[in-house]
Amino acid sequence: MLHPDFLEHAQKIVLIVVLAVIWIVFRVPAAAPDVAVALPPASVQLPTVVGEPVAAEKVAPSLVVHRKPGNKIGDRVLTLPVQGVGPEELYDSFNDKRGRGRRHRAIDIIAKSNTPVLAVENGTIARLENHPLGGLSIYQFDPTVQYVDYYAHLARYARGLKEGDHVSRGDVIGRVGQTGNAETPHLHFAISRLSPGSTWWGGEAINPYPILLNAQPSEKAVRQTD
């Protein structure tokens, strides 16, 4: 028969072993497998998970202008609207007074009758109009349909020009004249920023003078259309 003291020591040993096993299983993390993981070089951009915040992208300086919000008309390269007229010949008459207390809200570009009038930018012919004040005139949407370019007092339109036509910067769209209330041959040129609900008229007038000072000379039309 086993001695009581021996049984007591055996129970203690068994208890210690059980506790040691429990501690090893629950307290010691399993060793990671000895496997080499190949990481991509720093120059490689990993795909981003949908919904995860994305760091700001570095854009080349030459592309920044194309990503500006609002696509302001002053950010684009325009062509002077009268062939042969340079920026130094322009006069800022935007705030000049006119009859009945109104302001000019445009500039007048003096030129000989039948001088080609050019589209200042790419866009769409929004409206052709014959008005008692503006005479034969053209409203042209810019490429974003946020702005309208207005050409007035024309002698005539380019042959075949009609509403909805796409025009390119430098295209001949008409000829300088003095229709409407014009006393001398000139082009009345205006730019408007369209407001919500407005169509080809009723927008906010923008002074075209500082914009055209940075425009390209129009010594030669890009493409003759009349």
pLDDT digits (tens, 9 = 90+) for 123-142: 999 999 999 999 999 999 99
Question: pTM to 2 decimals?
Answer: 0.66
* Paired tokens of 173: 């769209």
| For the chain, percent of residues with pLDDT exceeding 70 | 65
Helices (H), 60-203: 61-64
Range of weakest confidence among 56-70, 101-115, 125-139, 194-208: 56-70
pLDDT of residue 53: 31
Question: What mean pLDDT comes out for the span 185-209?
Answer: 89
The residues that bridge with 127 in the sheet, in sequence order, are 139
Top CATH class of 75-212 equals mainly beta
The residues that bridge with 166 in the sheet, in sequence order, are 124
pLDDT of residue 14: 67
Task: Tell the residue number behind the tokens 């070089």, with chain if given.
Answer: 41
C-alpha closest to that of 77 among 214, 184, 208: 214
Q: Where are the domains of the chain?
A: 75-212
Q: Is the predicted pLDDT of residue 147 greater than 90, yes or no?
A: yes
